[in-house]
Structure formats: C-alpha cells, structure tokens
C-alpha cells in the first residue's frame, strides 16, 4: 500500500509541476500587462499635461496699452482725453514713446526736410498753431482735400503753420504736383517713417492730421473727415483761443 502511494506520487508530481509553472507564468504575464498599462497611463497623462500647457501658453492673451489710455473720440474725429497721466505740465515736448499721441499732451519733437531743401524743427513753429497733414499724391482723398488745406493756410497765414508731410512719394512727382496746383504751404518728406512713427494715424491710413496749439500741445487728431475745412478751422480757432 505504501509502495503504491509512492509510485502514484511519482507519476502525478510532474503533472502538478507543469500546472504550477503555467499558473506562475500567467501571473507574471498579468503582472507585466498591468505594469504596461500603468506606464502607458502615466505617459498619456504627461502628454495631456504638456498639450494643455502649450495651448494655454500660445493661446493666452495679455492686455497691452494701445497708447490711447481709454480716450474717447470727440466731434469732428478729434480724440478727447480726460486722463492726466503722462502730461508734462509744462510747454516742453515729452519724450516720444510707442504709445499713440493724445490730445492735451505735448507734441513729440521732430525735424523735417522741406521740398525746397531746407530743414526745420517743430519747435520753430512755437507761438503759432500748427496743422500737420499726412498725405500722398496717389491718394484721391488727399488730393481732393488739398484745396481746403491751401485755403486754411491763406486764411490764417499770420497765426497758422501748415506742414503737409508727404508719405513716400517720389520727390519729383511731389514737386510737379505742388507746382501744377499752385500750393504755397510747407511740404515735408518722411522717407524713413520717423515722423509717422511719432504721429501714428488714428485710422491706420491717410489722410490724417494733427493740430498743435502755439504752446506745443496737441489740440486735435483727425482721420478721414468730411468737410475738413469746417472741422479743421474750428479746432484751429480753439487752439488759438478764439
């Protein structure tokens, strides 16, 4: 009886060993499978975090100062600024910045080469009102407004300096245009955009104009206007205290 049991054990042991090995192998495979799933989940989570962080970085917006300091647009296209920030409080011209110019602030300094070859500074016009008009011969609106600019220069000849800044025309073309039409106000050139950078257009286009009072303070900023003579004249009078 004892011999039979021992013999039976010898026959059954290899079979049980194979089963145990198989179960152990299955457990190891399941463990490896779980490890792979865990690692894959970690990688996926990391990728999602990187993706969302990148979207937030590139898609975010930041508030920037456009230079107008919430100034409102008044009648006749002029911008009315009720803020006292950055005003100099004197008659000296403030150092120009990237911010757009504003009514009530000192006009940025500049020098300009005129059509006749002379160079003048904005400070040369102190004591008189100044109308700076940005224009080009290829712009139909500018061309149509030039007679009114000429009329203003004649009507207020003793109190107003009219400076028409040409925006990148050929000098010969400008000279021909001015002589052909008999305009007598000052014509300046801004080939390097230095003046336009200091006096940016409120509409990002031409024509536009800036009126400065005799103390060098900006009194009006204008984009495209209808009946510019009446609009500009009203602000010239106000700048002159009339």
Whether 119 is in a domain gets the answer yes
Calculate mean pLDDT across residues 24-45.
72
Residue 1 lies in a domain: yes
- Please check the confidence at residue 230 and state whether its pLDDT lies above 50: yes
Give the pLDDT confidence score for residue 18 in this predicted structure: 54
87 and 166 in a single domain? The answer is yes
Same domain, 52 and 112: no
Domain-embedded: residue 148? yes
Residue 131 predicted with pLDDT over 70:
yes
Q: What is the pLDDT of residue 46?
A: 79
For CA atoms 3, 7, 12, 14, the dihedral sign is positive
pLDDT, residue 40, reads 79
In the prediction, which pLDDT does 69 show?
Answer: 35
Mean pLDDT of 127-156: 97
Considering 16, 34, 62, which residue would you say is the last residue of a domain? 62
pLDDT (tens digit, 9 = 90+) per residue, 92-125? 333 334 446 899 999 999 999 999 999 999 999 9
| Cα-based angle 70, 75, 77 (whole degrees, multiple of 5) | 70
Q: How many domains does the chain have?
A: 2
Residues 112 and 152 in one domain: yes
DSSP per-residue string spanning the chain = -HHHHHHHHHHHHHHHHHHHHHHHHHHHHHHHHHHHHHHHHHHHHHHHHHHHHHHHHHH-------SSTTPEE-GGGPEE----TT--SSSSPPPP-SSPP-TTSBPPP-EEEETTS-EEEGGGGTTSEEEEEEE-TT-HHHHHHHHHHHHHHHHTTTTEEEEEEE-S--HHHHHHHHHHHT--SEEEE-TTSHHHHHS--TTSSSSEEEEE-TTSBEEEEE-S-SSHHHHHHHHHHHHTT-
Boundaries of domain holding 138: 72-239
pLDDT class of 33 with cuts at 50, 70, 90: low
The rounded distance, in Å, linking the Cα atoms of 7 and 129 is 125
pLDDT reading at 13 higher than 50? no
Integer-rounded Cα Rg, in Å, for the chain is 39
- Average pLDDT score, the chain: 78
Which residue would you say has higher pLDDT here, 103 or 64? 103
Of 130, 137, 149, which Cα lies nearest the Cα of 225? 149
pLDDT at 224: 83
What pLDDT shows up at residue 53? 66
Q: Which of 1-5, 61-65, 143-147 has the lowest mean pLDDT?
A: 61-65
The pLDDT score that the predictor gives to residue 27 is: 64
Asked if residue 40 belongs to a domain, the reply is yes
User: What's 216's domain CATH number?
Assistant: 3.40.30.10
- What confidence category does residue 137 fall into, taking pLDDT thresholds of 50, 70 and 90? very high
Average pLDDT of span 137-165: 97
Residue 67 resides in a domain: no
């Amino acid at each position: 009886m004892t011999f039979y049991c021992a013999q039976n054990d010898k026959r059954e042991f290899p079979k049980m060993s194979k089963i145990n090995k198989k179960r152990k192998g299955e457990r190891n495979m399941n463990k490896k499978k779980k490890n792979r799933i865990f690692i894959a989940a970690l990688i996926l989570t990391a990728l999602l975090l990187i993706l969302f962080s990148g979207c937030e970085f590139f898609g975010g917006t930041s508030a920037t100062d456009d230079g107008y300091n919430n100034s409102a647009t008044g009648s006749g296209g002029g911008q009315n600024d009720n803020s006292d920030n950055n005003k100099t409080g004197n008659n000296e011209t403030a150092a120009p910045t990237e911010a757009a110019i504003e009514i009530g602030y000192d006009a940025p300094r500049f020098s300009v080469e005129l059509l006749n070859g002379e160079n003048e500074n904005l400070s040369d016009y102190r004591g008189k009102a100044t109308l700076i008009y940005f224009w080009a011969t290829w712009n139909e609106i500018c061309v149509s407004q030039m007679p009114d600019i000429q009329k203003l220069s004649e009507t207020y000849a003793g109190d107003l300096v009219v400076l028409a800044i040409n925006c990148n025309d050929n000098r010969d073309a400008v000279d021909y245009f001015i002589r052909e039409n008999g305009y007598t106000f000052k014509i300046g050139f801004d080939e390097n955009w230095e003046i336009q950078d200091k006096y940016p257009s409120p509409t990002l286009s031409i024509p536009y104009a800036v009126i400065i009072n005799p103390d060098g303070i900006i009194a009006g900023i204008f984009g495209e206007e209808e009946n510019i003579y009446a609009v500009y004249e009203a602000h010239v009078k106000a700048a002159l205290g009339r």
